[in-house]
Amino acid sequence: MLSEREYDSLKPGQRIWLGVSTGWTDTNGEAEFEVGRKSYSKKYDVFSIRLLPVIDGKPNKGGAPFILFKREGGYQGWKGISLSHGGMAAIVKSYRLR
């Protein structure tokens, strides 16, 4: 799982490897992603980072986005890191930097 320190250290353009399980697919290993833009919602006190899947060495900007969220406890008191794929919850099985 991804810690808050690791989340905060991610920079746009950086490549990471994630083992991801979603409602559509299970990567059976790891997939490469490029860190996209970061944003923050004042209303919900949530930070988000868009992840772009890397296909043939280039980031793919189309398709359902992968988004890493860091919640600060504003939404129902829940705090931590979570992942979504196209609005559906996803599970991070493993994480490593490239």
Tens digits of residue pLDDT in 67-98? 999 987 655 667 788 888 888 888 888 888 87
**CA distances to 12, 20, 45, 78, 85 from 52, in Å:** 10, 13, 23, 26, 11
- With contact defined as beta carbons under 8 Å apart, do 32 and 17 qualify? yes
Predicted structure pTM score:
0.84
- Is residue 35 within 8 A of residue 11, CB to CB? The reply is yes
Mean pLDDT of the residues in the chain? 85
pLDDT tens per residue, range 37-53:
999 998 888 899 999 99
Instruction: Give the range of the structural domain holding residue 92, as residue numbers without chain letter.
Output: 4-97
Could you tell me if 46 and 74 are in contact, meaning their C-beta atoms sit under 8 angstroms apart?
A: yes
Structural domain tally of the chain? 1
Quickly list DSSP for 39-77.
Answer: EEETTTTEEEEEEEEEETTEE--SSSPEEEEEEESTTTT
Higher-confidence residue: 2 or 75?
Answer: 2
